[in-house]
Structure formats: C-alpha cells, structure tokens
C-alpha cells in the first residue's frame, strides 16, 4: 500500500541531492532536522509514532550547556549548539521559553573543593565562561537561593541557558507548516523501508509506505531498534529518567545543578526538576510507560526546595518518566550511514543543547552527500567495525 500524497521518485542516482526527505521522529532533533531540510528546499515529511514531542523532548531538563569535561570535538559542537540558540534568542528576546540566566553547579563530599577547582580550571582552559563563587558571592548574585545549601565554592557559568523543548518543537513545526512540509502523527511504530540495500522511505504501523529520496531516523531512545531492523547496529545505553514540573513559585533562579536536584526555570513561573539518584526506583512496564512512587516526587521537590530561600516550597504540578536517549558509548551519533545509502541518523545525549546545530549539520550532510567536518567524530559508521 502506498499513500497517495507520497513523493514519487526516490530512485535518483546515489549521491544526487535529494528533492524529498522523510524524517522519522517528532522530537526536538527530528523537527529541527526537518526544518533545516525544508530551509534547504527539500520537500520534507516529518513522521512520528504518536504526537510531536511525546518522547524525551517532552520531559527534558534542557539545560543548554557544555559544562564539565569532555572531548574537544563534543565541546565544540555543544558550544556551537548554544550559539545557535543565542541567534534564535536574539531574533525575539521576548520568548519566555528560551532564556539565558546562566548556570550554577556545585558538588559535595570529601573531595568537593578539589573537584570544583579542577572542573573550574578545565572550563577556563577551554575558554568556557566559568567563575568560582564563594557562598557570599553566590547569595549576592542569586538572592532567591539559599547559598547555605551550596558547598564552600560553586561554579557559575554565565553563558548557559535553558529551553522548553515543547515550545521549540511547536515553533519549528509552525515553520515547517509555513514551508509546506507534511507532518504525519499517529503512525505507530514505523520502520525504514529498504530496497536493494538503500533506504527509500518509511513503512508505518498500518503498512502504508511513505517514500522519499532520503530518510533520517531521529527516534530518540527508539533509534537503535529502528536501525537494527534496517540492519544497522547502533548500541543503545538509554537509562530511565523522570522530570517533575512544579506549580508556579515566586522565585528567580539560574539553572541549578546540585548533588540532589537539578532545577531550571520554565514558562509561567514554574520550574522543572530532575536528578538521577531515584532512577532505580522508576518502574518501566512492557509498553514503555513508567510508574513512579509519589514519595520520590515529594523527596525530589524537598531537595529542590532546599536550594531556595526559606519559605519557598516547590509543589508538583506533574511528572513524566521514560527513557533518556543516550548511545551506549555516550557520544552523539549524527550523520549519514555508509552501510545504508539514503539513510542518516540523529541519536544523542544532550539533544536539547544540540538540537539546532545537529539539525543544521545533519541536514547539510543529507543535502550535500558530504560528511560535515563537525560530525566526523560522531559518525554512525564507528559501530560498523
Ligand atoms: C530527564 C531528562 C533530562 C535531560 N536533560 C538535558 C539537559 O539538561 N540538556 C540537554 O541538552 N539535554 C537533556 N536531555 C536530553 C534531551 O532532552 C534529548 O536528547 C532530546 O530531547 C532528544 O530528542 P530526540 O528528538 O532525539 O528524541 P525524542 O524527543 O525522544 O523524540 C523521538 C520521537 O520519535 C518517536 N519514535 C520513536 N520510535 C519511533 C518509531 N519506530 N516510529 C515512529 N516514531 C518513533 C517518539 O515517539 C518520539 O516522538 C534530557 C533528557 C531527559 C529525558
């Protein structure tokens, strides 16, 4: 069965610029890649199993950062990711879903002081804006926090920010609609359609085929399974996670990364809160849905409330849990797949920070057929051996 509106000629010679593309996965990465392909003049279809943003992008802390220690190529990509958000911010600084209030990090334990100093020095060496703050400076800079909760020293990264991915996805989806792209939701679990060793489209759960010159798989934590069915191994390491969204609270804060709670502001005066200490207590059912004890939510919000001035009590408005997309080796998997011509992949941790730059560079590879130098270190081909 073939859908009537399907673009018809996917059989152009290998290496020719695609005129049609289908992007599988309606999260931040898929939507961004689709938008960048549409900007390049490609007739795009964005296809997803349920609703847009019903995966990790709908329950992400989405701290925009390149803090801490990582490989130079990954650091460069993340810094460029933040740069693209800066450009988006400058186009309309009134958006309440993309802000740059900076980030604050601290740790605890016996080696906290040493760990903090060495993290700070590493950041300074890489040219990442990093300031070491004592408790008094921290309190003065962020009066709504309770600096007594912090270690003796904290790191302030003034260039960091946060984004609400559901808003970003809606923003990019609106652009897609304006550009005449198709957005297909509710398709169920789709698979890549492979003919003569080439990706030629996608088959949805009803059996309908959606053909295109190029296929991009951006299925978040489902990416490994989709690619495995198409004969390409991309090992998965996606852990469980949970994000709590609070009721509105009278407090202002940067993004906070602390030993027991990570917190970021969210539109409407609310906050989003997560961490990883409770991950073993999240129960995943066979259908992928999760349950979390109410007491874990309360415990997390008690930890988060302690970061704020006395009297501030964060209350849960809701929570969402599921897999956080992370490739098994922890590094991004971005770009075209040599073993499956016509197919590219986008699967990464920190997909909020990378969403715009990954959309731009993966779309560039799809359109030009050339490996983007920024993605050389992140090619899906590294698993082929
Ligand atoms: C709790 C949490 C905290 C995070 N914190 C940060 C952070 O601070 N900073 C940061 O940069 N990043 C962070 N991330 C990571 C970031 O949010 C993700 O990397 C990003 O949202 C992933 O986007 P995606 O489009 O790849 O995947 P998703 O948003 O999961 O979208 C994938 C889509 O594909 C669909 N799909 C899956 N399989 C199929 C199929 N077979 N057929 C059709 N459709 C399919 C899904 O339904 C889903 O809609 C966090 C994530 C979580 C969960």
CA of 24 to the centre of ligand 1 (A): 12
Please work out whether the CB of residue 226 comes within 6 Å of at least one atom of ligand 1: yes
Residue 7 has pLDDT above 80, yes or no: no
* Separation in Å, CA 178 to CA 79, 149, 172, 312: 29, 48, 10, 43
Please work out whether the CB of residue 330 comes within 6 Å of at least one atom of ligand 1: no
- Please give the mean pLDDT across all residues of the chain: 95
pLDDT at res. 13: 41
* Ligand 1 atom 36, closest CA: 219
Q: What does the pLDDT average to over 206-233?
A: 98
* Ligand 1 atom 19, closest CA: 351
Please work out whether the CB of residue 130 comes within 6 Å of at least one atom of ligand 1: no
Residue 227 has pLDDT above 70, yes or no: yes
pLDDT band at 15 (very low <50, low <70, confident <90, very high): low
pLDDT at res. 152: 87
pLDDT band at 14 (very low <50, low <70, confident <90, very high): low
pLDDT band at 1 (very low <50, low <70, confident <90, very high): very low
pLDDT at res. 3: 39
Residue 8 has pLDDT above 90, yes or no: no
pTM (2 d.p.): 0.96
Please work out whether the CB of residue 333 comes within 6 Å of at least one atom of ligand 1: no
Residue 46 has pLDDT above 60, yes or no: yes
Residue 12 has pLDDT above 50, yes or no: no
Q: What does the pLDDT average to over 146-173?
A: 96
* Ligand 1 atom 27, closest CA: 220
CA of 210 to the centre of ligand 1 (A): 23
CA of 233 to the centre of ligand 1 (A): 19
Q: Tokens in use for 129?
A: 């804006």
Please work out whether the CB of residue 324 comes within 6 Å of at least one atom of ligand 1: yes
CA of 358 to the centre of ligand 1 (A): 13
pLDDT at res. 5: 32
Please work out whether the CB of residue 222 comes within 6 Å of at least one atom of ligand 1: yes
């Amino acid at each position: 069965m073939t859908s009537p509106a399907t673009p018809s000629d996917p059989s152009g010679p290998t290496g020719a610029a695609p005129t049609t593309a289908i992007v599988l996965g309606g999260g931040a990465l898929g939507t961004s890649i689709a938008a960048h392909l549409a900007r390049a003049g490609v007739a795009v279809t964005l296809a997803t199993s349920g609703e847009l943003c019903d995966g990790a992008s709908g329950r992400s802390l989405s701290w925009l950062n390149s803090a801490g220690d990582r490989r130079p190529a990954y650091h460069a990509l993340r810094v460029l990711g933040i740069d693209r958000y800066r450009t988006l911010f400058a186009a309309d600084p009134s958006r309440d879903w993309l802000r740059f209030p900076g980030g604050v990090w601290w740790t605890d334990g016996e080696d906290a002081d040493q760990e903090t100093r060495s993290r700070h020095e590493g950041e300074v060496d890489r040219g990442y804006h990093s300031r070491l703050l004592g408790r008094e400076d921290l309190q003065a800079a962020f009066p709504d926090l309770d600096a007594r909760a912090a270690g003796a020293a904290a790191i302030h990264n003034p260039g960091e920010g946060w984004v609400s991915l559901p808003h970003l996805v809606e923003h990019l989806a609106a652009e897609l609609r304006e550009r005449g792209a198709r957005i297909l939701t509710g398709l169920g679990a789709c698979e890549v359609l492979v003919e003569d060793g080439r990706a030629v489209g996608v088959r949805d759960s009803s059996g309908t085929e959606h053909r295109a010159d190029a296929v991009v798989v951006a299925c978040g934590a489902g990416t490994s399974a989709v690619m495995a069915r198409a004969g390409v191994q991309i090992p998965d390491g996606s852990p469980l996670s949970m994000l709590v969204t609070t009721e509105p609270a009278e407090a202002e804060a940067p993004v906070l990364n602390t030993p027991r709670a990570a917190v970021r502001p969210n539109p409407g005066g609310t906050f989003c809160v997560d961490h990883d200490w409770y991950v073993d207590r999240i129960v995943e059912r066979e259908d992928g849905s999760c349950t979390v004890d109410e007491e874990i939510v309360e415990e997390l919000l008690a930890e988060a409330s302690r970061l704020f001035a006395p009297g501030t009590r964060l209350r849960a408005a809701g929570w969402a849990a599921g897999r956080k997309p992370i490739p098994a080796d922890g590094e991004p998997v971005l770009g075209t797949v040599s073993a499956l011509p016509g197919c590219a992949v986008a699967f990464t941790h920190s997909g909020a920070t990378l969403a715009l730059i990954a959309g731009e560079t993966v779309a560039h590879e799809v359109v030009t057929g050339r490996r983007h130098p920024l993605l050389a270190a992140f090619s899906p081909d590294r698993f082929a051996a």
